[in-house]
Amino acid sequence: MEPIFYRNFINSSVFNFDELKNLYENYPEDKIEMINNNIKYRPYIREQVNNKSTLIFVEAENIKEEFKSLKKVFELKFPKLKKSKRWEVHIYFSYSGESTSFKTHTDVADNIIVQTEGLSKWHLPGFFDKTLTIGDMLWIPKGVEHGCVPLSKRISLSFAFWDF
């Protein structure tokens, strides 16, 4: 399968900065990762978070019922996901457009990215470059090279589906 981009796929209220603030104050710190200068830290150190940081709340699929509903929608849109052995939601957020994320890489899971706040630019070599705005969705099949550059303060949801 090839990656697919969808403009205005969802309602932006799926997850917002107010919910993020509450989550950040209450989420287990051992379930938060940090990317700074393209290096991942887990666990992260709160005192080291700055404008160049991207934080990731891992294993966040149970924090909102809407995430489970979206999973069902994605399974209808991409039937191969029904065969997945497990799935997770990771919430990526950045305080500014100066933040860094992972370098271009591949994953062993199928990924669906949903932009719920701000802007992020996605580079999929050999396919396309797209700027995701609020409500946009990107399907990235496993093994497809991709990378993200946050362009503003943002929240992106990453739904990962593993078939092993």
Q: What is the pLDDT of residues 34-45, one digit of tens each?
A: 999 878 898 888
Please write the tens of the pLDDT for every residue from 108-144: 999 999 999 999 999 999 999 999 999 999 999 999 9
Number of neighbours of residue 143 by Cβ within 10 angstroms: 11
**pLDDT tens digit sequence for 51-64:** 999 999 999 999 99
- What's the whole-number average pLDDT of the chain? 95
Q: What is the mean pLDDT of residues 30-37?
A: 93
Q: What is the pTM (predicted TM-score) of this model?
A: 0.95
Q: Are 129 and 122 in contact (CB under 8 A)?
A: yes
Identify the pLDDT of residue 89: 98
Cα–Cα distances (Å) from 63 to 37, 59, 89, in that order, read 28, 9, 9
Residue 150's H or E segment, with its range, is strand 147-150
The yes-or-no verdict on residue 93 having pLDDT over 90 is yes
> What is the reported pLDDT for 35?
94
* pLDDT for 67: 97
pLDDT at position 11 over 80: no
| pLDDT attached to residue 133 | 96
Please give the pLDDT value at position 102.
87
Q: Please enumerate, as own/partner, the contacts of 73-80 that have beta carbons within 8 Å and a separation of 24 or more.
A: 74/112, 74/159, 74/161, 78/110, 78/112, 78/139, 80/1, 80/110
DSSP-derived letter for residue 68 is: H
Which pair of structure tokens corresponds to residue 38? 């393209």
* Three-class DSSP category at 95: coil
C-alpha angle 61/71/105, rounded to 5°? 75
Per-residue pLDDT, averaged over 154-159, amounts to 97
Q: Quick one: fold of 4-162? A: Jelly Rolls (2.60.120)
Cβ neighbors of 99 (< 8 A, separation 6 or more) are 35, 51, 52, 53, 54, 150
pLDDT at 50 over 90: yes
Residue 13 reports pLDDT greater than 90: no
